Structure 1
Amino acid sequence: MDEPVTFGRAAPTICVRDMQAALRFYGGVLGFATVFENGDPLGFAVLKKDAAEVHLTRKADHVASTANVMHLFVDDADALYRRLESAGTRIIKRLADKDYGQRAFVFADPDGNRIDVGARPQPRG
């Protein structure tokens, strides 16, 4: 049997055409803090919020995929959904309770990158 290997953090690297627009969105709308930047002009950034980490990399000819690039777990999908709607963010799939046990939706960042959001349903009442 192979020796066990412990994995550390994993973070998606998301390609963006306009780094400044991406930083405004991920920072201003989603609340991530930039903890590392590299390049002149800026070509790479690491952002963190709570336990989540995202790496942004500038790619001038980036074209967004129709697949989700990240699954983001949150404690309140409804609150994040309202925040994104009020910011004018493009919603790909509307907020709904899913048969796999999450309250979920999909939105697109300014570059069209799809991000899937999920939370365990909140008790009603």
Structure 2
Amino acid sequence: MKQPILGKISPIIPAGSDMEKAIAFYEQQLGFTTIYQEGEPVTMAIVKRDSVEIFLQKNDDKYLAEWTTFRIQVDGIEQLYQELQTNGGQMIHPNGFLEIKPWGTKEFAILDMAGVCITFYESVANGI
């Protein structure tokens, strides 16, 4: 019998009440491309960069957004960090600057327009 294999994850996250502003942030600041929009005005959008897809859902619950967080594995973490710095760098989390963590990753965190925290990480230790 074939064993199941998990693939990529596509989170659905709160994007705030201004979807146009949220989409522009993901495109212009983080380098994503919008591959789908729903509603008039837009209530949901899918943005993609490489193999990462994020579903942006119109939702202005600030509490929900500030407690939403996820991690994205990256090859070339230093280059991505530099790219985001070049794009303004304001999105870098105040406590999330690029550093090596004790659990064997080099990582940094950003806050999107709604307050969602996204950590980008790259393994630096064997076996992680």
Q: So what's the TM-score if we normalise by structure 1?
A: 0.80
Gaps of 5+ in 1: none
TM superposition outliers: structure 1 runs of 4+ over 4 Å: 3-9
Structure 1 position 105 matched with structure 2 position 105: no
Provide the rounded CA distance (Å) in 2 between the counterparts of 1:45 and 1:110: 15
Q: Distance in 1 between matches of 2:7 and 2:103?
A: 27
Q: What one-letter code is carried by the residue in structure 2 that aligns with 1:13?
A: I
Identify the match of residue 89 of structure 1 among 91, 95, 115.
91
What SS does the corresponding residue of 1:94 show, helix, strand or coil?
Answer: coil
Cα deviation 1:53-107 (Å, max 9, x = unaligned): 10000013343324x5221111122222223334122424221111222111111
The percentage of aligned residue pairs carrying the same residue is 28
Q: Distance in 2 between matches of 1:76 and 1:104?
A: 11
Distance 1:50 1:113 in 2: 20
Equivalence for 2:53 = 53
Question: How many pairs does the alignment contain?
Answer: 118
TM-score using structure 2 length: 0.79
RMSD of aligned residue pairs (Cα, Å): 2.1
Where is the strand percentage greater, Structure 1 or Structure 2? 1
Task: After superposition, give the CA deviation of every residue in 1:7-39 in whole Å (9 maximum; x if it has no partner).
Answer: 554300110112111111111111111111101
